[in-house]
Chain A
């Protein structure tokens, strides 16, 4: 890890970051908004939601800003017609992939997917919903896993592994058949590794993981751990690219 400073331009603004820091992280610090769902400061990056893709001058391809380190003299554009179109399409793909019905969702008004759809101006969908048959795992004493709302961002997998150290969660299957699993596919309530810490529930961006007893729109996140996660990152014990 190096403390060298890199200066670059994001959306016309001169900004500075440390070498090894991601474009997304520098943008966050500088107050530039780049949409992202799999990214959560303090967790390792997987680069899977592809919402944070940005244009870098001199590079033909788009780059995922969460997994691309800043470089000296880089010129980054975070918003353009093309990027906006791709991001709207990505949000649409997510909404159509599982069964997202905001009006009856526990996370209504506390949902990052819903919030992003509003921010990006997604007003209608062209693609048909896939309507997969998804289970709800309510075997845990305090929490519920609703696959209908899961977007496979794997924040829960990472927070459980990297912060709690339990690695209860992982993903099974492939393609649209991929599913979040606890332990080796056991019901959550029977998991022998889960510590019931609730970190996964707090970092879930949608209504896939929530506390039992909450009704529609009551799934407000408290995220008591999030400042801690960011703090560990800032202390230098966290991850850099």
Chain B
């Protein structure tokens, strides 16, 4: 029988307490940066940090730091340890692999490099780090690290030397667009909120309710460098005239919440949040609000309702939050990644930012590369890179040399893009034209063993579970579409069902109240557009070409 005493057994408690990093007292010659973001932590990188610390201490290396850092990117090869001074990255470092740890310590002590270091190419080629510049380099729980890396210089510059109009002009010049998915021009949104009049304040809200299956960009940023997001929010607050901010994080990200809270406390203590920021009259306070497990709360009006303590259901727009948001006041809502882009834009100028990317899609985009590729992980690439470069160069091709079939972008409201579109540049317009969209940055690669009807069914299942139930087309329409897809994958579907599915999808897309319902049919549309033959194979021949579906309804 388990009791509270059992749960507090010394062994358990000791294992749960994360090991502290080792900071040398004197000069630091080299450092071992051990990834402590959720991906590597799930592979016991906290134990790696502890074991490495013990060994470095035992070896008496007084000029070596063993540091806790955020995501190093290549999640597939975790746990990861980087020695930046030597430009070396160690993969698959196991806490109980004595030989590997020893060779790492040898490297750190200045001896011959150990055998396990991996080549940084090709995963890191093509990548341009703006948002992730400091991820994997700073300790997410030490504001000093962030300050050493140039953190809060942008905020200081903003509040001491720039007018709000100048800040907004810089953001407009950068061409930055919302990274949450819709790609609304950030500068325009800021202008609207700045121009809105309010006698009792405005709000800045950060949407960290990342919920797309396979997406973990915002989580990684918050776990790796939460200060950069807070800095972006404070700059936004200064630009639009708000003194209060909220970060809405989903409860499924406990580590991100913990680091965010600690970052807020430390920023307040260092004078970069709270009153009299950087010695000026500007004040900005940030609070964290935790979601309760509803995907729809990533939709801005539902998110605001949830922050206010109401049911997380969307409401019709207009009025847009920029005019009437939290408690009826003008509210700026941007995504985690959008805010993280702001400090670099302010520091280096909009001109510089605009020089990265393509015509209408400027800058970089963070993607969570997942699925059947070799190098799954977190990447940041300039807009306009082709899918092929992402999947085959950065991603290292498909696992087991299987044949590529499709890549899914944009989550449940995105689409599946086939092989013939691999050379398409990744930007907002191209993706939308191809029947998908940028979304928040989830990118799931699928190989030949994936059935596309099954994929559409998976996403429809997700949407019917996550529909808030307020508007009819989304609430009942997604359930009916799921039913039709299920029937087809069982080999019981007819051509007439396919027509019904299409007309129903059209109706749900056109008449739903919010983006969740309007986007829910997209996986159906895109798979019908590029993989219609797979639907027909299930219907006419009662076979699943990918061999993924169990067709029990051959005989009708």
Given A96-B476, A97-B476, A152-B475, check contact A175 B468 (CB 8 Å).
yes
When the two chains form their complex, are residues B466 and A174 in contact, meaning their CB atoms are under 8 A apart? Answer: yes
Q: Is A15 an interface residue (CB 8 A)?
A: no
As a 0/1 sequence over residues 89 to 129 of chain A, the CB contacts with chain B under 8 angstroms (1 = contact) are 11001101100000000000000000000000000001110
| Residue among A53, A61, A90 facing the most chain B CB atoms (10 A cut-off) | A90
As a 0/1 sequence over residues 469 to 488 of chain B, the CB contacts with chain A under 8 angstroms (1 = contact) are 11111011111100100000
| Residue among B470, B500, B504, B510 facing the most chain A CB atoms (10 A cut-off) | B470
Q: Is B465 an interface residue (CB 8 A)?
A: yes
Kindly identify, within residues 204 to 229 of chain A, every residue whose CB is under 8 Å from any CB belonging to chain B. none
Kindly identify, within residues 32 to 89 of chain B, every residue whose CB is under 8 Å from any CB belonging to chain A. none
Q: Is B449 an interface residue (CB 8 A)?
A: no
When the two chains form their complex, are residues A175 and B510 in contact, meaning their CB atoms are under 8 A apart? Answer: no
Which A residues lie within 8 Å of B23 (CB)?
Answer: none
When the two chains form their complex, are residues A89 and B466 in contact, meaning their CB atoms are under 8 A apart? Answer: no
A38: min CB distance to chain B, Å: 9
A158 to B512, CA, bound (A): 21
A130 to B477, CA, bound (A): 11
Q: Is A171 an interface residue (CB 8 A)?
A: yes
When the two chains form their complex, are residues A86 and B475 in contact, meaning their CB atoms are under 8 A apart? Answer: no
Which B residues lie within 8 Å of A197 (CB)?
Answer: none
When the two chains form their complex, are residues A50 and B472 in contact, meaning their CB atoms are under 8 A apart? Answer: yes
Q: Is A46 an interface residue (CB 8 A)?
A: yes
When the two chains form their complex, are residues A67 and B480 in contact, meaning their CB atoms are under 8 A apart? Answer: no
Q: Is B455 an interface residue (CB 8 A)?
A: no
When the two chains form their complex, are residues B513 and A50 in contact, meaning their CB atoms are under 8 A apart? Answer: yes
Contact of B480 among A48, A93, A152, A177 (CB under 8 A): A93
A91 and chain B: residue at smallest CB distance: B472
When the two chains form their complex, are residues B469 and A178 in contact, meaning their CB atoms are under 8 A apart? Answer: yes
When the two chains form their complex, are residues A86 and B464 in contact, meaning their CB atoms are under 8 A apart? Answer: no
A53 to B513, CA, bound (A): 11
When the two chains form their complex, are residues A171 and B311 in contact, meaning their CB atoms are under 8 A apart? Answer: yes
Q: Is B467 an interface residue (CB 8 A)?
A: yes
State the total of A-B contacts with C-beta under 8 angstroms: 96
Q: Is A62 an interface residue (CB 8 A)?
A: yes
A152 to B471, CA, bound (A): 9
Kindly identify, within residues 474 to 521 of chain B, every residue whose CB is under 8 Å from any CB belonging to chain A. 475-480, 483, 500, 503-504, 507, 510-513
Contact of A90 among B478, B503, B511 (CB under 8 A): B511
When the two chains form their complex, are residues A93 and B467 in contact, meaning their CB atoms are under 8 A apart? Answer: no
B468 and chain A: residue at smallest CB distance: A174
| Residue among B466, B471, B483 facing the most chain A CB atoms (10 A cut-off) | B471
When the two chains form their complex, are residues A85 and B316 in contact, meaning their CB atoms are under 8 A apart? Answer: no
When the two chains form their complex, are residues A175 and B466 in contact, meaning their CB atoms are under 8 A apart? Answer: yes
Contact of A48 among B311, B466, B472 (CB under 8 A): B472
A122 to B128, CA, bound (A): 57
Given A48-B513, A86-B507, A171-B311, check contact A130 B479 (CB 8 Å).
yes
Contact of B476 among A46, A174, A176 (CB under 8 A): A176
Q: Is A201 an interface residue (CB 8 A)?
A: no
Which B residues lie within 8 Å of A50 (CB)?
Answer: 471-473, 511-513
When the two chains form their complex, are residues A174 and B479 in contact, meaning their CB atoms are under 8 A apart? Answer: no
Q: Is A64 an interface residue (CB 8 A)?
A: yes
As a 0/1 sequence over residues 158 to 179 of chain A, the CB contacts with chain B under 8 angstroms (1 = contact) are 0000000000001101111110
Which B residues lie within 8 Å of A96 (CB)?
Answer: 476, 480
Contact of B503 among A53, A85, A93, A94 (CB under 8 A): A85
Q: Is B294 an interface residue (CB 8 A)?
A: yes
Which B residues lie within 8 Å of A177 (CB)?
Answer: 469
Which A residues lie within 8 Å of B467 (CB)?
Answer: 174-176
Kindly identify, within residues 127 to 176 of chain A, every residue whose CB is under 8 Å from any CB belonging to chain B. 127-128, 130, 151-152, 170-171, 173-176
When the two chains form their complex, are residues A93 and B511 in contact, meaning their CB atoms are under 8 A apart? Answer: no
When the two chains form their complex, are residues A89 and B479 in contact, meaning their CB atoms are under 8 A apart? Answer: no
When the two chains form their complex, are residues A174 and B316 in contact, meaning their CB atoms are under 8 A apart? Answer: no
Q: Is A49 an interface residue (CB 8 A)?
A: yes
A61 to B511, CA, bound (A): 9
When the two chains form their complex, are residues B513 and A47 in contact, meaning their CB atoms are under 8 A apart? Answer: yes
Which A residues lie within 8 Å of B296 (CB)?
Answer: 174
When the two chains form their complex, are residues B465 and A175 in contact, meaning their CB atoms are under 8 A apart? Answer: yes
When the two chains form their complex, are residues B473 and A90 in contact, meaning their CB atoms are under 8 A apart? Answer: yes
When the two chains form their complex, are residues B469 and A152 in contact, meaning their CB atoms are under 8 A apart? Answer: yes
B273: min CB distance to chain A, Å: 35
Given A50-B512, A97-B476, check contact A89 B469 (CB 8 Å).
no
B479 and chain A: residue at smallest CB distance: A176
A176 to B473, CA, bound (A): 11
As a 0/1 sequence over residues 26 to 51 of chain A, the CB contacts with chain B under 8 angstroms (1 = contact) are 00000000000000000001111110
When the two chains form their complex, are residues B510 and A86 in contact, meaning their CB atoms are under 8 A apart? Answer: yes
When the two chains form their complex, are residues A64 and B316 in contact, meaning their CB atoms are under 8 A apart? Answer: yes
Which A residues lie within 8 Å of B468 (CB)?
Answer: 174-175, 178
Contact of A93 among B311, B465, B477 (CB under 8 A): B477
As a 0/1 sequence over residues 167 to 179 of chain B, the CB contacts with chain A under 8 angstroms (1 = contact) are 0000000000000
A167: min CB distance to chain B, Å: 12
A46 to B466, CA, bound (A): 19
When the two chains form their complex, are residues B476 and A85 in contact, meaning their CB atoms are under 8 A apart? Answer: no
When the two chains form their complex, are residues B511 and A176 in contact, meaning their CB atoms are under 8 A apart? Answer: no
When the two chains form their complex, are residues A171 and B469 in contact, meaning their CB atoms are under 8 A apart? Answer: yes
When the two chains form their complex, are residues B469 and A86 in contact, meaning their CB atoms are under 8 A apart? Answer: no
A208: min CB distance to chain B, Å: 15
A128 to B484, CA, bound (A): 9
A94 to B464, CA, bound (A): 15
Which B residues lie within 8 Å of A62 (CB)?
Answer: 510-511
A206 to B52, CA, bound (A): 68
A61 and chain B: residue at smallest CB distance: B510
Which A residues lie within 8 Å of B465 (CB)?
Answer: 175
A237 to B369, CA, bound (A): 54
**6 other A-B residue contacts (CB within 8 Å) besides A64-B513, A89-B507, A151-B472:** A47-B315, A50-B513, A128-B480, A130-B476, A170-B311, A175-B468
Cβ contacts A to B, 13 pairs, < 8 Å: A50-B472, A62-B511, A89-B507, A93-B473, A93-B476, A93-B480, A127-B483, A127-B504, A174-B466, A174-B468, A175-B465, A175-B468, A175-B478
Q: Residues on A close to B: CB < 8 A?
A: 45-50, 53, 61-62, 64, 67, 85-86, 89-90, 93-94, 96-97, 126-128, 130, 151-152, 170-171, 173-178
* Those 8 A-B pairs whose CB atoms lie nearest each other, nearest first: A178-B469, A93-B476, A47-B316, A67-B316, A175-B467, A50-B511, A97-B476, A48-B471
Q: Residues on B close to A: CB < 8 A?
A: 294, 296, 311, 315-316, 464-473, 475-480, 483, 500, 503-504, 507, 510-513
